[in-house]
């Protein structure tokens, strides 16, 4: 594929996705507010951009992997944003976790300029991003998929097409985050009860991961607790935000979510206690009266 593709946001996910695109033979242009990250990528064979607007002059596909809706708005419509500079017929691929209605609104605004839009939140973690094996939960018009060409498949092991209007991908992503957030908080609650009851934590992990109580998140996050390593791969504050999106979505149709609201309170309690920037497994620190495993000496 002899194509110019832009990636905005070189965090844990975006950096891996940009690397996967370059490995697929594409010419990859990158932008991040942290200029050293841009320089590093350019040194390895990519093209650094000074702004989203500059990127838009060169690329027919722009993949945005920033933190949230506010940053996406800034990338598109802020100072030196790309929306005004994108060519007619090019496509903006929005990979953040956002309110589905907001995503549908962005589709309208870009269509009015002749620019295509894909609602395309992602899942899978940094390791799978680096291997080009993320999951994408996408929705958009057929013309938007056509404009993206092989770019999605170059980053993803699975590209789900969930509807022909923006929003359907974001809805499924928000529901995935409901489960992910509740499962992390439940894993913490279960491990905390085990510690309270004097159960050996490593044995508990071994049994649960071979039993019906297992979840993707229990298996993935509880090793951080066992190793006392709360380096943030994904932070507590991400789930304060994402479970907030879950609750906002449900509130807009007055729909009750008892477990999501409880888990949201647990993450906010962890954040208020000062653990917001630690790994999301640090939600276990809200439980009093237990001694967590210490760092190996």
Q: How far apart are CA 6 and CA 9, in angstroms?
A: 10
Could you say which of 87, 173, 285, 295 is catalytic? 173
Q: Judged by CB, which is closer to its own copies: 203, or 227?
A: 203
Does position 95 interact with its own copies (CB under 8 A)? The reply is no
Q: How far apart are CA 208 and CA 235, in angstroms?
A: 24
Does position 132 interact with its own copies (CB under 8 A)? The reply is no
Q: How far apart are CA 148 and CA 165, in angstroms?
A: 15
Instruction: For the CB of residue 60, give the shortest distance to its own copies in the complex, in Å.
Output: 28
Strands 134-138 vs 156-161: parallel, antiparallel or unpaired = parallel
Instruction: For the CB of residue 13, give the shortest distance to its own copies in the complex, in Å.
Output: 12
Residue 176, φ and ψ in degrees, nearest 5: -60, -40
Window contacting its own copies (CB under 8 A); options: 35-43, 54-62, 248-256, 274-282: 248-256
Token pair in block for residue 36: 């050293």
Does position 207 interact with its own copies (CB under 8 A)? The reply is yes
One of 18, 187, 238, 284 touching its own copies (CB under 8 A): 187
Q: Judged by CB, which is closer to its own copies: 147, or 268?
A: 268
Instruction: For the CB of residue 137, give the shortest distance to its own copies in the complex, in Å.
Output: 6
Does position 199 interact with its own copies (CB under 8 A)? The reply is yes
118: Cβ contacts below 8 Å, ≥ 6 apart: 91, 92, 93, 94, 138, 139, 140, 144, 145, 148, 152, 166, 169
Helix (H) or strand (E) holding 155: helix 151-155
Q: How far apart are CA 243 and CA 31, in angstroms?
A: 28
Residues annotated as catalytic are 173
Provide the binding-site residues for its own copies, judged by CB under 8 A: 100, 123-125, 135, 137, 158, 160, 162, 168, 171-172, 175-180, 182-183, 185-187, 189-190, 192-194, 196-197, 199-200, 203-204, 206-208, 210-218, 220, 246, 249-250, 253, 255-260, 262-263, 265-266, 287, 289
């Amino acid at each position: 594929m002899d194509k110019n593709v832009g990636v905005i946001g070189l965090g844990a996910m975006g950096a891996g996705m940009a690397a996967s695109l370059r490995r697929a033979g594409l010419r990859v242009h990158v932008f991040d507010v942290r200029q050293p990250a841009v320089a590093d990528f350019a040194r390895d064979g990519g093209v650094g951009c000074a702004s989203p607007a500059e990127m838009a002059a060169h690329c027919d596909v722009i993949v945005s992997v920033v933190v949230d809706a506010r940053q996406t708005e800034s990338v598109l419509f802020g100072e030196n944003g790309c929306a005004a500079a994108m060519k007619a017929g090019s496509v903006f691929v929005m990979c953040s976790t956002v309110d589905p209605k907001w995503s549908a609104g962005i589709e309208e605004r870009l269509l009015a300029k002749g620019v295509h839009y894909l609602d395309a939140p992602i899942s899978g973690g940094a390791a799978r991003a680096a291997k080009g094996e993320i999951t994408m939960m996408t929705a958009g018009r057929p013309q938007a998929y056509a404009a993206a060409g092989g770019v999605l498949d170059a980053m993803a092991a699975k590209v789900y097409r969930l509807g022909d209007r923006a929003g359907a991908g974001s809805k499924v992503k928000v529901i995935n985050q409901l489960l992910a957030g509740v499962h992390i908080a439940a894993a913490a609650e279960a491990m905390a009860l085990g510690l309270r009851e004097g159960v050996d934590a490593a044995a508990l992990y071994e049994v649960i991961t071979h039993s019906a109580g297992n979840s993707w998140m229990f298996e993935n996050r509880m090793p951080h607790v066992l190793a006392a390593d709360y380096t943030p791969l994904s932070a507590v504050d991400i789930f304060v935000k994402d479970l907030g999106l879950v609750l906002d979505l449900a509130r807009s149709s007055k729909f009750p979510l008892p477990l999501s609201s409880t888990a949201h309170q647990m993450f906010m309690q962890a954040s208020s206690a000062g653990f917001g920037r630690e790994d999301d497994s640090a939600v276990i620190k809200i439980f009093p009266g237990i001694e967590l495993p210490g760092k190996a000496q």
